Structure 1
């Protein structure tokens, strides 16, 4: 009769640890009952996305409800600022992204911008941001990193990675350097399939790993793994499932002792090759501590399936119980750090070097990131903005608006915007819509879309006075017109460009 309670206790601990390593997302803007139930049973972390956010006030109520009975809950969000924003999903980010910051190359400003973002996250009850991306964007055709990277120079990326980590964590919000060991040299989006990086160890060490070493040296609290095959490191398994990479390289060689969180296990690079449940077991065994399963939204059944797969793996000898317990302890330890760090940070005030009174640091940075080629003739009345749009990658999402039209309309009332895709674009249609008004053309990553390049050539030929605004990677050459490169599509990047077009530049 004494053995049964002992078995029940052991089983309860095992199942609690299995829940603790999961970092699930959910649907809706209120805390689901099933999430609250599982918090009582050991779930130690949740992930939030744009679908969970209506406003900062609503987000604060949501996180408060989630941790009402569980103050040690770790709340994560996929928030990078710039193009990838969740807390400002409906209007666009008030801070520019990494590419803009790398273009400026002022580490003090990067630190200040990250600190400002950290304070905004802390005010909403967020503990962990899956940021910054410290990938070196060595492949300009990369469909998923792009402006999320600080740039193509490993040393530049490394110094800004360290500055960003320091700034974000100064607000008591844990940073997560991603995507280890580097997602920059890919032409495949791991949301859809499994990328492969065929370069040698010397290149990986000098290029891709340099920013991660800098982030670790700066005290980053978390590192997110990449779903990529790097044969020089492990020819058999993607980084997320590789003990050689997560334990041998990240833990033992780089000396990282914080939380290892996976990229989304629902991404096809893992889900369609290993399956979420088996992939989750392999990831924990390899050295991951937290399993991100946020892209769904996922229901209770999915979470329980992952929990049960971990429990079964321990009982079947596939996963050491000590490894699962260690992973769960690391999740709880990071939650404890955020509580202490948040209290130590206090509300604080933004450090805005070089900013005029009242200028938010994000807008100051966006203005400094602009690069103008040619002469922009300031508007004297309303304009027509033609947006050349391509489908956004999953990381950026389609919920967040971008462009210069809304911001330009505030400065030049009557300005209108039309959005054109490859299927809907026609030069005659754009010119007819513009009429006699000045033409502004906004695009992202023209170098990756041949139809955009052709459209710009035609529009500039017809309207030499047009202003072109490139809001992605500034790779394609300016096409004869006044050309503004914003180095990102955050709302403040559009605002900074609009100020120049309207003759209101600061």
Structure 2
């Protein structure tokens, strides 16, 4: 139910509260309740993959949102890699952060980020929740991995700066994440509350290095993480911690832009208190814009607005804190680029030479080169399907996304594809036509994948394993490590294998 008919100081407060909220919604067109709340000052909308059909539909959707509120933030999780929303139906035509970090060409990173920004600007988005600038120091990290530029803080800092410069050159605001650093975790904050038990000195030397660089490069927003850092605040996760947001981010690092919460429907934020109370605590801690989650409803928004208004009345949040947050949010999209007047073309094209250049980021063992080089063609592709974290979702990935858009090599089109998952283990390993190419992500983290590889290796010598995630430090289950599973990297993998196979197989279907 709309709150537009409330009057006086209460009306102004409720409008400001609305401005701090960034919900998602179900469907591919804006529901009436969402448009009404936008007219009442709602801060904006977060667009997810299921909200998008194609570029023209997204352009029309965003035009309707910005017509209802010209200052609305239209945010999207477009990281330009495994996490994609613009290309949720076919996989991203960008390399992803880990590949960019391994190539370590900041100019290339800036160019890719500019391409992402141009596509977003053309479709009417104003903020992308990127780049991910966590230093992925834990190879068992279930939620960051290839979303990171790497494990070295200085390298991550170089590319954080380049990505921020590139995307913001298009008028789209960046959102460096996940403050103060989600790289040293083995728990997914979508599902539970990770704990990073390190000192402030360690944070300064490692996690905070990329954030300082992003701030110096002018990132307009920073997204918080739902992680507990007991040596800084033993009670509150970062999103809900005044010590971390006001003391560390605002105070020590001097950030003056918009602090955005990661989605409050994640267990790391609201698993104990529920979303309305998490919203109250996040605003009190120093967040300016609250990402609520996906598929939100009018009733949920009413509960949150009521909870924040009650917290202000009870003295838990100064009214000035709400006004300050709302002012920052309104300023964020005040200079957003105009939406394209015609259907935009947002798909970059990569030639064979560029695919070879991206494949230069791969790690390849001598055994893999030998086995591929002696093969007339591949007999079987074992597709290892692991459950993707919620941030990645179910977007097509790797070489399996390529046929959705482009031709694939004949050997790939002709090979038998054997799917393997936790609920569908590998059958008779010796019965598969060889050679066998095993393709999956983060293989070492999944017992069923390790079992399948060990069974294959125990009975045959023509197996090549490809890990398109973040491999273990010893690379035990990765003959080829691609450090990304976007559609572009899938195409680069196909081109690499095509070139490595016996010369007579190098053709396309």
Structure 1 length-normalised TM: 0.90
DSSP 3-state at the match of 1:442 = strand
DSSP 3-state at the match of 2:83 = coil
Q: Which segment drifts farther, 81-90 or 446-455?
A: 446-455
**2:492 aligned with 1:459, yes or no?**
no
Q: What are the within-5 Å matches in structure 2 for residues 253-402 of structure 1?
A: 253-295=252-294, 297-339=295-337, 359=351, 363=355, 366-374=358-366, 375=369, 376-377=372-373, 383-397=379-393, 399-402=394-397
User: How far 1:277 moved relative to its partner?
Assistant: 1.0
**2:489 aligned with 1:493, yes or no?**
yes
CA pair 53-364 structure 1, distance change in 2 beyond 3 A:
farther
Question: Do the aligned partners of 2:359 and 2:496 also contact (CA within 8 Å) in 1?
Answer: no
Residues 337-371 of structure 1, C-alpha deviations (whole Å, 9 max, x = no match): 3349x99xxx9999x9xxxx963998576333223
**Structure 1 counterpart of 2:409:** 411
CA pair 267-418 structure 1, distance change in 2 beyond 3 A:
same
CA pair 378-173 structure 1, distance change in 2 beyond 3 A:
farther
Task: Output the CA distance in 1 between the equivalents of 2:108 and 2:437.
Answer: 30
Residues 183-225 of structure 1, C-alpha deviations (whole Å, 9 max, x = no match): 1111111111111111111111101111111110010000001
Q: What are the within-5 Å matches in structure 2 for residues 44-83 of structure 1?
A: 44-83=43-82
Task: Output the CA distance in 1 between the equivalents of 2:232 and 2:123.
Answer: 39
DSSP 3-state at the match of 1:338 = coil
Task: Output the CA distance in 2 between the equivalents of 1:348 and 1:85.
Answer: 17
Q: Can you give the 5+ residue segments of structure 2 that lack an aligned partner in the other structure? A: 500-505
CA pair 253-403 structure 1, distance change in 2 beyond 3 A:
same
Structure 2 length-normalised TM: 0.89
**Structure 2 counterpart of 1:3:** none
**2:420 aligned with 1:420, yes or no?**
yes
Question: Do the aligned partners of 1:427 and 1:458 also contact (CA within 8 Å) in 2?
Answer: no
Question: Do the aligned partners of 2:443 and 2:477 also contact (CA within 8 Å) in 1?
Answer: no
Question: Do the aligned partners of 1:387 and 1:403 also contact (CA within 8 Å) in 2?
Answer: no
Q: What are the within-5 Å matches in structure 2 for residues 173-192 of structure 1?
A: 173-192=172-191
**Structure 1 counterpart of 2:218:** 219
Q: Which runs of 4+ in 1 moved over 4 A?
A: 347-350, 360-365, 378-383, 476-481
User: How far 1:180 moved relative to its partner?
Assistant: 0.6
Question: Do the aligned partners of 1:246 and 1:287 also contact (CA within 8 Å) in 2?
Answer: yes
RMSD (Å), alpha carbons = 2.6
CA pair 265-365 structure 1, distance change in 2 beyond 3 A:
farther
Task: Output the CA distance in 2 between the equivalents of 1:213 and 1:480.
Answer: 36
Task: Output the CA distance in 1 between the equivalents of 2:130 and 2:209.
Answer: 17
Q: What are the within-5 Å matches in structure 2 for residues 107-256 of structure 1?
A: 107-256=106-255
**Structure 1 counterpart of 2:502:** none
Task: Output the CA distance in 2 between the equivalents of 1:331 and 1:406.
Answer: 37
CA pair 36-7 structure 1, distance change in 2 beyond 3 A:
closer
Question: Do the aligned partners of 2:74 and 2:125 also contact (CA within 8 Å) in 1?
Answer: yes
Task: Output the CA distance in 1 between the equivalents of 2:447 and 2:305.
Answer: 46
Task: Output the CA distance in 2 between the equivalents of 1:349 and 1:97.
Answer: 17
Q: Which segment drifts farther, 453-462 or 42-51?
A: 453-462
Question: Do the aligned partners of 1:464 and 1:480 also contact (CA within 8 Å) in 2?
Answer: no
CA pair 190-95 structure 1, distance change in 2 beyond 3 A:
same
Task: Output the CA distance in 2 between the equivalents of 1:393 and 1:255.
Answer: 32
Q: Can you give the 5+ residue segments of structure 1 that lack an aligned partner in the other structure? A: 1-5
Question: Do the aligned partners of 1:460 and 1:479 also contact (CA within 8 Å) in 2?
Answer: no
DSSP 3-state at the match of 1:502 = helix
